[in-house]
Amino acid sequence: MPTSTVEATDLKTRWREFQEEHPDVRIRTAADRLGVSEAELLATGCGEHVTRLDGGWSALLSELESLGPVMALTRNDAAVHEKTGVYHNVKFTDAHNMGLVLDDDIDLRLFLDHWVLGFAVETPWDGGRGGVRRSLQFFDRDGTAVHKVFLTRKSDLDTYDALVDKYRHDDPSIDQPVEAVESGADEVPSEEIDVEGFLDEWADLKDTHDFFPLLRDYDVSRRQALHFGEGRFTHRVAADSLRRLLQDAAEEEVPIMVFVGNTGCIQIHTGPVKKLKATPPWYNVLDPGFQLRLNEEAIAQAWVVRKPTRDGDVTSLELLDADGGIIARFFGKRKPGQPEREDWRSVVQALVEDG
């Protein structure tokens, strides 16, 4: 990883050569092929088309509403979630360094301990004003992207320029040191876990949000939880259940919720899905205002999961990768205080019956 201007200059040269040979490869893929992080690669453009930003992400996020309509992008290695809208109702909880963006279009859960680096980026783009695509991009300490905000044709360019000037970092250098992010603790051996107690408390859940602290209290990984609950609260279904679920939801006009996240952000779509398209290995939703790309080859496990709540059972489809990480989660559209939609339950039950 670059730790000096000499190394960063060499990386900049390699990145330029890579772009000439592979003009259509996205920067995240390019960084992986070059053996560096995306933030390191992006930083080589500082002083040209990239501006390093200073901290104070809460303040900056609170000002994003003034940009008007933008496209929010959150991804992990196997899923990309894009929503167009305005950053309304931005709120923060200092005690846990968390934030929320609560709107019908832009709906986010922010974990700001993982928002370490930020850049303003301008790249060539035929669809942008002046042939330029402008964005604000944020990264964890290891250089992995946690969230990106792209301007649209309707965004306020003057506000964007003012925000970049306001949060501009004093350091314009092209080298970007990064450091490893501590991985989660190893799974506790199943024989050391009070599985019966865990399942009993699962049965007594009052809210879906209570599931996360339940996992923590019993030192249970999500993958272990799904296996412990099999036959009672969970059913393993075919890895290609993703396609069936989206196709049925589209055909039957069932509004859904789609959660995609990483260490720093969870992004949520609530509403219908309509235009579906397979471009192997990716399966896509290509609707106005919402686009989703899921790498089907990365899906190692798919589970239908039931959680009791005070409003009745809530059912989801959860997709896991080979390491047990969550790729994406799907629910029927609902709000607290409302029972789950019967048409959604029918869509999910069909996955269970098909095995």
- pLDDT tens, residue by residue, 307-343: 999 999 999 999 999 999 999 999 999 988 899 999 9
Task: Take residue 254 and report the two structure tokens written for it.
Answer: 């069932």
Give the count of beta carbons closer than 10 Å to the beta carbon of residue 191: 6
- Report the Cα 11 to chain-centroid distance in Å: 27
- β-pair type (108-111, 301-307): unpaired
- Antiparallel, parallel or unpaired: β 98-101 and 117-124: unpaired
pLDDT at 193: 96
Domains of the chain, by residue range, sit at 5-75+116-166, 190-354
Outline where 51-175 has alpha helix (H). 57-62, 157-166
Strand ranges of the sheet holding 282-287, from the earlier edge strand across to the other edge: 50-53, 117-124, 132-139, 145-151, 70-75, 79-85, 290-295, 282-287, 276-279
Q: What pLDDT is recorded for position 354?
A: 83
For residue 96, the model assigns a pLDDT of 83
Please state the rounded mean pLDDT for residues 290-315. 97
pLDDT at 127 over 70: no
**In the predicted model, is pLDDT for residue 60 greater than 70?**
yes
pLDDT at 152 over 90: yes
Residue 332 identity (one-letter amino acid): G
Residue showing tokens 């080979």: 322
Query: Residue 125: its pLDDT value, please?
Result: 78
Segment 262-272 shows an average pLDDT of 97
Under CATH, what is the fold of the domain 5-75+116-166?
Heme iron utilization protein-like fold (3.40.1570)
> What is the share, in percent, of the chain residues with pLDDT greater than 70?
97
Average pLDDT over residues 142-166: 97
What are the tokens at 305?
A: 């999961």
pTM of the model: 0.94
Question: Is the pLDDT assigned to residue 129 strictly greater than 90?
Answer: no
Mean pLDDT of 5-30: 92
Mean pLDDT computed over 229-248 = 96
Pick the CATH number of 190-354 from 3.20.20.140, 3.40.50.10470, 3.40.1570.10, 3.40.50.720: 3.40.1570.10
Q: Distance of CA 12 to CAs 144, 162, 172, 182, Å?
A: 18, 28, 15, 28
User: Would the pLDDT of 289 be above 90?
Assistant: yes
Q: What is the mean pLDDT of residues 276-304?
A: 97
pLDDT(233) > 80: yes
> Is residue 250's pLDDT more than 80?
yes
pLDDT at 6 over 90: no
Cα–Cα distance for residue pair 190/184, rounded to 1 Å: 17
Two domains, one topology: 5-75+116-166 and 190-354: yes
pLDDT tens column, 32-41: 999 999 999 9
Phi then psi for residue 23, to 5 deg, are -65, -20
Among 6-10, 37-41, 170-174, 200-204, the least confident range? 6-10
User: Residue 181 pLDDT > 90, yes or no?
Assistant: no
61 burial via Cβ count (<10 Å: 0-12, 13-18, 19+): buried
Contact criterion met (CB below 8 Å) for 27 and 39:
no
**Residue in this structure with the two tokens 């009745």, named with its chain if needed:** 312
What average pLDDT score do residues 187-200 get?
96
